[in-house]
Amino acid sequence: MKKENKYIYIVLVKALTGLGKFVRIFSKYEYTHIAVSLDESLNDFITFSRKKHYEPFNSGFMHETLDCYAFGDNKSVKLKVFKIPVSNESYKEINEFISSIENDNEYIFNLISMSTMGIFHGVSIYKSLNCMSFVSKVISLTKKINMNKKYYKYNIKELDNLLSDYFYKEELFYKKKNINKSYMDRVNIFKNIKGFLSINTKLIYRLLFKRNDNYDK
């Protein structure tokens, strides 16, 4: 029997953004963001997200830090953490998957799937992911969780339920310092409009003309 001496951590975030608060009103569920961490220090949260707080359409692969969640004057944020034991082989595969995404500049944020999740229950678009689909794919690579549908079709609440056997802790996490110095830089409305049009143009083009996703399996 293979010894499992590695762990990955799946982190649910009670996002303090305006969008996060809005979603909670209608969903009656408190967690609106999800990430992966590869060590117990929980200092590095790997996910797909906005690059800056005030620039929601400039989004993609991210290494977030706690101050991205407890941003500005916020001192803490509530996180729910799951700890999943994995074999050395699976741990290597997960790292290779993350590295392949991080080093591929074609990957963009799947805003269409994120914004229509409640209607279409996930849309696969060539080389595009969001926080849910990215983390779901990582979870599938652990080979610990019985996932009976495509990775991009899981929402955060469903992942919460799937991972219940691996619950680790749920508490307020307090930021110690601001690591991402430019995270709270403001941008003008025209830059956000340009970002919105750019990402949707790319996604619609890929949806129509590029249907094969390397990880759509």
Which CATH number is 54's domain given?
3.90.1720
Q: Is 115 in contact with 22 (CB distance < 8 Å)? A: no
Q: Which domain holds residue 76?
A: 6-106+129-185
Q: Does 117 fall in a domain? A: no
Residue whose entry in the numeric block shows the structure tokens 């991972």: 163
Q: Does 171 fall in a domain? A: yes
What pLDDT score does 16 carry?
87
Instruction: For the chain of 217 residues, list the mean pLDDT of each consecutive stretch of 10.
Output: 79 90 84 96 96 94 95 94 96 97 97 94 95 97 94 96 97 90 92 97 94 57
- Biggest CA–CA distance in the chain, Å, is 58
Q: Does 193 fall in a domain? A: no
Strand order in the sheet with 167-174: 55-64, 45-52, 33-37, 6-13, 76-86, 167-174
Q: Does 114 fall in a domain? A: no
d(CA 50, CA 13): 14
If one counts the domains in the chain, the total is 1
Q: Does 1 fall in a domain? A: no
Q: Does 217 fall in a domain? A: no
- For the entire predicted model, the pTM comes to 0.93
Q: Does 138 fall in a domain? A: yes
Q: Does 34 fall in a domain? A: yes
What pLDDT score does 4 carry?
64
